[in-house]
Amino acid sequence: MMKARWTVRALALAACATAAIAQPLAAQDRPAPLQLGEGEIYRAPGVDWLVFSNWYDGLFADAKISGVELIQQGERIATNGDVRLSSTPGQWDAIGRLVERRVDTKTGVIEAELEYPDHKFRYLIRSVPTDRGLQVTVSLPQALPAALAGRAGFNLEFQPSAYYHEAFLVDGKPGGFPLYPASEMTLTPERNAASGRADGPGAEPVAMAMGKRFVLAPSNPGRRVSVTSDVPVSLYDGRNQAQNGWFVLRSLLPAGKTGTVMTWTLDANSVPGWLRAPVIGHSQLGYAPGETKIATVERDANDRSAGAVRLLRVGEDGRETVALQGAGKPWGDYLRYRYAKFDFSSVRTPGVYVLETGKTRTAPFRIADDLYASAWHPTLDIYFPVAMDHMFVNEAYRVWHGDPHRDDALQAPVNHEHIDLYRQGPTTDTKFQPGEHIPGLNVGGWLDAGDFDIRTQTQYAVIRQMVQSWEDFRPTRDTTSIDQERRHVEIHVPDGKPDLLQQIRHGSLQLIAQFDAVGHAIHGIVEPDVAQYTHLGDAVTKTDGLVHDWRLKPGEVKNGRSGTPDDRWAFTSKASALNYGSIAALAATARALKGFDDDLAARSLETAERIFAKEQAQAPDTFSHGNTTGGPLESERFAAAVELLQATRKPVYAEAVAREWPAIAPNFARDADVAVRALPFMPASYRAGVEQAVRGWAKQSEVIAAANPYGVPITTGGWAGNGAVLDYGNTTYLLHRAFPEIVKPDAVFRALAYLHGNHPGSDISFVSGVGTRSKEVAYGNNRADMSFIAGGVVPGVLIVKPDLPENKEDWPYFWGQNEYVVNTGAAYLQLVHAAHALTQQGTKPAG
C-alpha cells in the first residue's frame, strides 16, 4: 500500500482543521457556496462537482468516469453518480444511455436525461446548488418497471484509497472503512448472467451500514463529505466482488411512484482560501549536461505568488549550494492550472540536484553524461521477460509466472463479438470448426497488457520497433537466459546471447505459428469469457494447460485432454491489414536474426514474400472490428513493402513503395518513420516527395510544441497519451537523422522529460523503476498487489473533462491511465537509445 507522505502543506492543513473544530467559523470565514462556473462545473474553494461532464468509456462501459463526480482538493475521489441496476456494478454491467444533458447557467441547474432502453426505463437526474451543498434528485416520468424493482438505485462511488485509514458516521453512529474488503456476501444467481460470466452463481456484498445521513472522513478536512437523503442510503464495499470495486453509497428507487422519488444533498468540505501546492514538473531521471533543461512549475489558478525557483546542488556531505535561481518565465494557463517555465540549461556540471519553490521540493535527480545509457535496462531486463507468454519466468527466488496457455487455442465461434474488441465473422476462414483445437499456436508472443491476450497487431508493432532499435543502435546487452526448447526464462542470468534478439525471436515465433496453423494472420488469442478475462495472478492458473475435448465431462482428463472448456479462443476472420502488418514484422525479423537464428530468419522472409505476393494478386479482405484487425490498410501495405525492400533490395518492392506513396503522403505523420526508412533504396524523386512532407511535419511540430507548456502532444481521449508522446519523440529522431537541416532533435528530449516527470498533475515518472520517483502502483497483471513491473510504461495523464489532468498513483485500476502495454515498452526502449545516441554525438537540442 502507498505510505502516507506528510508534507508541510498537509501539516498546516491539519492544524487549520483542528482550529476549525475547536471554535466555530466566523461568518466571513465560512466556506463559499457552490457556484456553477467555467466549464459547467460547480465550484467552491477546494471543491468541484462535475455532473455528466464525462461519459462512460465506449470500450468497457463502466470506466469510473461519468455521472456525478467529486474533485476535492485537487483529487477526483467520487464518480459514477447515476442510476445503476446493482449495488456494486462491475465493469461490464449495464449502464444508462445518455439521452440529453441540459445546463441552465442562470439558475445553476444541470439536468441529465437517461434511459435503459432494454427495460423501457427513462429517468432524469437534476442537480442544483443550495446553501447546504449540491442537491441531486432523481425523477421518473413513469413508475419503475416491475423487473427493476429492488434493483434500480442511485449510486455514488468513492475511491477506496482515498478513504484508507478513515472512519465514517451514519446517523451519528461510528463506522470504519476497511483497508481490505471483509463484508458479508449474499448469493445472487442472476448476477453472473448479467455480467456475461460463465462460472456459476455470483454474489453481492451486504451493506456495511444504512441510514439517512452519512459523513465520510469526519476528521479529515481534505476528504470530509456528507450525504443527506430523504430515503435510506446504504454503504457497500465493491472490492468484495472485484478488486477494482469502490465504496458505494446507494439508495433504491421506490416502486409505484413517479415524479421526484429521491433527493440527496451532497456537501464536500470546502476550506476557505485553499490552494493546491505547486508541482515542479521535471525529469525524475535527470538530464544530460548538454541537454536543454526546463522545469515546468504548475500552480493553482488562484495562486498569484511570483514563486522563485531554486536549483540546488547536493554535495557529498549533504550540504546544498544554489546552482541557479529565478522567477521562471510565465507560460500562461493550461487546463485548470497556471504555468511558468524555469530554464536551467546553463547548469552542466554533473552531480545530484533538487528543485524547490516555496515549500515544494523535488526528489533528487542527476545531471550525468551517461544518463540514458542504462534507463532502458529495466524495460528489457524485467518488463519484457515478465510479458513473455508460453514461458516459465523466474527471477531469483520469485516465480513471475508459470508456462501459461499450453492448451492454445480453440477456434472462436462464428458471428461472435467478444468483450475485448475481438469479433469472429460469419465463417472461420480456416479449416477448423468452432470450438475445435487449432494446433501449433502455443508458442511465442507477449501478453498484451495488464490482461493475458495475444493481440497480433500489438505483436508485430513490438517486433518492428525492436528490430529498429537493433538496426539503429545494436544493444548487445545480455542479462536474461531464454531457453525456447525448455520454455524457460531466468531473469538476471546471462546466456551469451543478446536479449533483444531473443525477444525478437520470441515474438516472431507466434506470427510464424499463425501462418503455419491457418495460412494467414489472426486477430489474436484471448480468453473466452469475463471470468477468465478478469483473472489476476499467475497466468498459468487460468487454464489447466490441457487441450479441451468436448466429449469429456468438465474436470475429466483422458489421454492428455481435458473436459474443462478453459482454453483461449483464436479469432481468425481474414483481414489483409493484419497480413500486411505481420509481413512487415517478419521481413524485419529476417534482417535482425540473420546470423543469429538463420532458420527462423529464412522462414520469416519466405513467409513474408509469399503472403505479400498472394495479397497483391487478389482483392483485399477488409474485415474490420475494434482495434484488433490492423491499422489503415494503406499504412500496413506500405510498411510491408518498405520492410521487404530493406530485407531484399528487390525492385518489385521499390515499385510497391512508389505505388503506395501517394496514399501515404496526405497523412505523413502517421507513417513518417516508415517513409524515411525507404530513402536509401528509392530514387531521388521519392526523396523529394518525402522532403516536402517532412517540411510540413516540421511546421506542425512547432504548433504541437506551442500548444501546452510541455511541448509534446497531450491527447484527450479515454486512453491517456504517452503512446502519442513516444511516437512524436521517435519520429522526431528518425526525421532529424534523415533531414537534420529541417528537423531539430529537441522533441526527443522533451518527450523523455515528459515521460520521466515533466507533465501535468504530478512529477512522477511514468516508467516504473526509472527515475527517483516512478509508478509503483500500476495496472499490470500484479495490480491486485498494489505493485508494479519494472520498466513498464503506463498511458500517463488522462484529461478528465473539462480540465483535470489525472494519473492516480494510489489506485491502479484506471486502465486508461495506468495499464502497461508491450508496444509502449518497445517504443520507450527505442526512444532512450535515440537520446543516448544524440548525447554521445554531443548534440545539444534546441530550447
Q: What is the mean pLDDT of residues 606-623?
A: 98
Is position 97 within any domain? yes
Burial 47-60 (b: 16+ CB within 10 A, else e): bbbbbbbbbbbeee
Whether the predicted pLDDT of 1 surpasses 60: no
What whole-number distance in Å separates Cα of residue 247 and Cα of residue 239?
8
pLDDT score recorded for residue 408:
97
Using alpha carbons only, how large is the chain's radius of gyration in Å? 28
Q: Which of 718, 803, 797 is nearest to 37 (CA)?
A: 803
Q: What is the mean pLDDT of residues 164-168?
A: 97
pLDDT score recorded for residue 9:
30
Bond prior to 802 in cis (omega within 30° of 0): yes
What size, in residues, is the chain?
847
pLDDT score recorded for residue 187:
87
User: Which is more confidently placed, 193 or 291?
Assistant: 291
Same domain, 25 and 44: yes
How deeply is 802 buried, as exposed, middle or buried, from its count of CB atoms within 10 A (0-12, 13-18, 19+)? Answer: middle
Whether the predicted pLDDT of 190 surpasses 70: no
Q: Is the distance from CB of 815 to CB of 570 less than 8 angstroms?
A: no
Same domain, 357 and 241: no
What whole-number distance in Å separates Cα of residue 65 and Cα of residue 78?
9
Q: What is the mean pLDDT of residues 464-492?
A: 98
Q: What is the mean pLDDT of residues 681-685?
A: 98
What whole-number distance in Å separates Cα of residue 402 and Cα of residue 541?
8
pLDDT score recorded for residue 189:
63
Cell 505481420 identifies what position? 582
What whole-number distance in Å separates Cα of residue 366 and Cα of residue 520?
49
Q: Is the distance from CB of 570 to CB of 410 less than 8 angstroms?
A: yes
What whole-number distance in Å separates Cα of residue 268 and Cα of residue 272?
13
Q: What is the mean pLDDT of residues 3-26?
A: 32
Compute the Cα dihedral for 608, 609, 613, 614 and give only its sign: negative
734's grid cell = 528518425
pLDDT category of residue 4 using cuts at 50, 70 and 90: very low
> Where does a domain end: 601, 630, 648?
648
What is the rounded (10 degree) CA torsion for 641, 646, 650, 653? Answer: 10
pLDDT score recorded for residue 345:
98
Is position 182 within any domain? yes
Same domain, 347 and 358: yes
Same domain, 347 and 438: no
Question: Which distant-in-sequence residues (6+ apart) come within 8 Å of 167 by Cβ?
Answer: 174, 175, 176, 177, 217, 218, 219
Is position 750 within any domain? no
Same domain, 356 and 385: no
pLDDT score recorded for residue 306:
76
Is position 753 within any domain? no
Average pLDDT, the chain: 93
CA separation (Å) from 243 to 66, 135, 186, 193? 20, 31, 17, 20
- Vertex 345 angle, CA 339 and 350, to 5°: 125
Q: Residues 563-600: pLDDT tens digits?
A: 999 999 999 999 999 999 999 999 999 999 999 999 99
pLDDT category of residue 487 using cuts at 50, 70 and 90: very high
Whether the predicted pLDDT of 635 surpasses 50: yes
Question: Which distant-in-sequence residues (6+ apart) come within 8 Å of 270 by Cβ?
Answer: 31, 32, 44, 45, 46, 47
Whether the predicted pLDDT of 460 surpasses 90: yes
Same domain, 343 and 410: no
pLDDT category of residue 551 using cuts at 50, 70 and 90: very high
Is position 800 within any domain? no
pLDDT score recorded for residue 57:
65
Q: What is the mean pLDDT of residues 276-297?
A: 97
Q: Any idea which of 301-305, 393-397, 779-783 has the lowest mean pLDDT?
A: 301-305
pLDDT score recorded for residue 304:
86
What whole-number distance in Å separates Cα of residue 63 and Cα of residue 633?
30
Task: Please report, for the domain that includes residue 333, its CATH number.
Answer: 2.60.40.10
**DSSP category for residue 777:** S
Give the helix/strand (H/E) hosting 352: strand 351-357
pLDDT category of residue 132 using cuts at 50, 70 and 90: confident
HSE of 367 in the Cβ direction (CA atoms, 13 Å)?
A: 22
Is position 765 within any domain? no
Q: Residues 139-156: pLDDT tens digits?
A: 999 999 999 999 999 999
827's grid cell = 517504443
Return the percentage of the chain with pLDDT > 70, whole number: 94
Task: Please report, for the domain that includes residue 211, its CATH number.
Answer: 2.70.98
What whole-number distance in Å separates Cα of residue 539 and Cα of residue 445?
14
Question: Which distant-in-sequence residues (6+ apart) come within 8 Å of 53 by Cβ?
Answer: 39, 40, 41, 69, 800, 801, 802
**DSSP category for residue 358:** T
Same domain, 588 and 493: yes
Whether the predicted pLDDT of 160 surpasses 50: yes
pLDDT score recorded for residue 6:
28
Same domain, 361 and 395: no
159's grid cell = 475511491
Could you give the 3-state DSSP secondary structure of residue 670? helix
Q: Any idea which of 59-68, 520-529, 820-829 has the lowest mean pLDDT?
A: 59-68
Whether the predicted pLDDT of 36 surpasses 70: yes
What whole-number distance in Å separates Cα of residue 668 and Cα of residue 480?
38
Q: Residues 339-386: pLDDT tens digits?
A: 999 999 999 999 999 999 999 999 999 999 999 999 999 999 999 999
pLDDT score recorded for residue 195:
45
Whether the predicted pLDDT of 723 surpasses 60: yes
Tally the domains of the chain: 3
Give the number of other Cβ atoms within 10 Å of residue 561's Cβ.
17
Return the percentage of the chain with pLDDT > 90, whole number: 89
Q: Which of 509, 490, 487 is nearest to 385 (CA)?
A: 490
Whether the predicted pLDDT of 201 surpasses 70: no
Q: Residues 70-85: pLDDT tens digits?
A: 999 999 999 999 999 9
Give the number of other Cβ atoms within 10 Å of residue 154's Cβ.
27
What whole-number distance in Å separates Cα of residue 742 and Cα of residue 745?
10
pLDDT category of residue 12 using cuts at 50, 70 and 90: very low
pLDDT category of residue 92 using cuts at 50, 70 and 90: confident
Whether the predicted pLDDT of 14 surpasses 50: no
Give the number of other Cβ atoms within 10 Å of residue 725's Cβ.
30
Q: What is the mean pLDDT of residues 745-773?
A: 98
pLDDT score recorded for residue 91:
86
For residue 321, list its beta bridge partners. Answer: 313
Q: What is the mean pLDDT of residues 78-100?
A: 94
User: Which is more confidently placed, 11 or 389?
Assistant: 389
pLDDT score recorded for residue 497:
98
Task: Please report, for the domain that includes residue 530, its CATH number.
Answer: 1.50.10.10
Same domain, 164 and 36: yes
What whole-number distance in Å separates Cα of residue 680 and Cα of residue 61?
47
219: domain range? 8-268
Same domain, 46 and 141: yes
CA separation (Å) from 448 to 455, 469, 480? 6, 20, 20
CA separation (Å) from 375 to 180, 286, 731, 770? 35, 10, 20, 6
pLDDT score recorded for residue 259:
98
CA separation (Å) from 773 to 363, 768, 777, 808, 828? 7, 9, 12, 14, 18
**DSSP category for residue 715:** -
Question: Which distant-in-sequence residues (6+ apart) come within 8 Å of 75 by Cβ?
Answer: 162
What whole-number distance in Å separates Cα of residue 601 and Cα of residue 589?
6
Is position 537 within any domain? yes
pLDDT score recorded for residue 198:
46
Same domain, 411 and 318: no
3-state secondary structure 825-840: HHHHHHHHHHHHHHHH
What whole-number distance in Å separates Cα of residue 108 and Cα of residue 49?
12
What whole-number distance in Å separates Cα of residue 843 and Cα of residue 19?
56
> Where does a domain end: 314, 345, 373?
373
Give the number of other Cβ atoms within 10 Å of residue 398's Cβ.
8
Q: Where are the alpha helices (DSSP H) in 231-358?
A: none
Give the helix/strand (H/E) hosting 637: helix 633-648
Q: Is the distance from CB of 34 to CB of 49 less than 8 angstroms?
A: yes
pLDDT score recorded for residue 8:
29
Q: What is the mean pLDDT of residues 160-165?
A: 97
Is position 764 within any domain? no
Whether the predicted pLDDT of 820 surpasses 60: yes
Q: Is the distance from CB of 337 to CB of 349 less than 8 angstroms?
A: no
Whether the predicted pLDDT of 35 surpasses 50: yes
Q: Is the distance from CB of 773 to CB of 794 less than 8 angstroms?
A: no
pLDDT score recorded for residue 202:
76
Give the number of other Cβ atoms within 10 Å of residue 604's Cβ.
32
- Which amino acid, residue 233? V
Question: Which distant-in-sequence residues (6+ apart) come within 8 Å of 132 by Cβ?
Answer: 228, 265, 267
What whole-number distance in Å separates Cα of residue 369 and Cα of residue 316?
19
> Where does a domain end: 219, 239, 268?
268
Same domain, 342 and 448: no
